[in-house]
Amino acid sequence: MRKQHGVTLIELLVAISVLGILLALAMPSFSRMIQDAQNRTAAESVLNGLQLARTEALRRSTQVRFSLTDADGKVAWTVGCVNANLCPAEIQKRAPEEGGGNARVGVTTDALPRPLKPDTFAGVLAAGAGLDKAAVVTFDSFGRVSAAAGTEISRIDVTNAKASYARRYVVTVGSGGQVRMCDPDSKLNGTPQGCT
């Protein structure tokens, strides 16, 4: 007589229970990873928009402006020439519907201290902060920020509307036109992604 091999109902239920417990333990980490990725994608989009504006200003030898266009803080921007007679008023744009919908930006025009202090980025700019007025960076034909200090964005914080625990990113714009994205939770001396 042949012996039959198989899985008993109890063994199957134990395996399903263990799998369920493992999935329940992994879900918070997976959710955080998704929210972190949305913030990073949004920060990279802002960084790319700023770099595009600077590159176009150098290439076209005219003033090109990067503008954040959503007053609620959703990640939406346009890049275009200040003088529409010299080049298009809209070279490229990003609509708020693109990418993850939870990332939000807040901006300030306050000059960043030089050298940066350890607590420079300790305070979080709230979603939509500074967007009630024109939130722009204008690059001149030499790639520098062209307007007077205090009128152009110097710092953009990317946070998450759904998850306050999600990683925050900061994009800074120097008066010489340098654009940089960093993680305020990382120290600069240990990693190039750090802010201070």
- The answer to the question of residue 194 being in a domain is no
- The answer to the question of residue 132 being in a domain is yes
Q: What percent of the chain shows pLDDT beyond 70?
A: 93
Are 171 and 156 contacting, i.e. CB atoms less than 8 angstroms apart?
Answer: yes
- pTM of the predicted structure, to 2 decimals: 0.83
- The answer to the question of residue 21 being in a domain is yes
What is the Cα–Cα distance from 106 to 125, expressed in whole angstroms?
5
How many structural domains are present in the chain? 1
- The answer to the question of residue 1 being in a domain is no
- The answer to the question of residue 100 being in a domain is yes
H/E segment holding residue 138: strand 135-139
Report the pLDDT value the prediction gives residue 99, as an integer from 0 to 100. 62
- The answer to the question of residue 189 being in a domain is no
Report the pLDDT value the prediction gives residue 159, as an integer from 0 to 100. 92
User: CA torsion sign, 69 to 83 to 110 to 176?
Assistant: positive
User: Does the pLDDT of residue 179 top 90, yes or no?
Assistant: yes
- The answer to the question of residue 156 being in a domain is yes
What is the Cα–Cα distance from 108 to 159, expressed in whole angstroms?
14
What is the Cα–Cα distance from 75 to 107, expressed in whole angstroms?
12
- The answer to the question of residue 144 being in a domain is yes
Which residue segment(s) compose the domain that 62 sits in? 9-182
What is the Cα–Cα distance from 66 to 92, expressed in whole angstroms?
10
Phi and psi at 170, nearest 5°, equal -125, 130
Instruction: Assign residue 144 the CATH number of its domain.
Output: 3.55.40.10
Report the pLDDT value the prediction gives residue 171, as an integer from 0 to 100. 95
Q: What is the pLDDT of residues 11-67, one digit of tens each?
A: 889 999 998 888 888 777 788 888 888 899 999 999 999 999 999 999 999 999 999
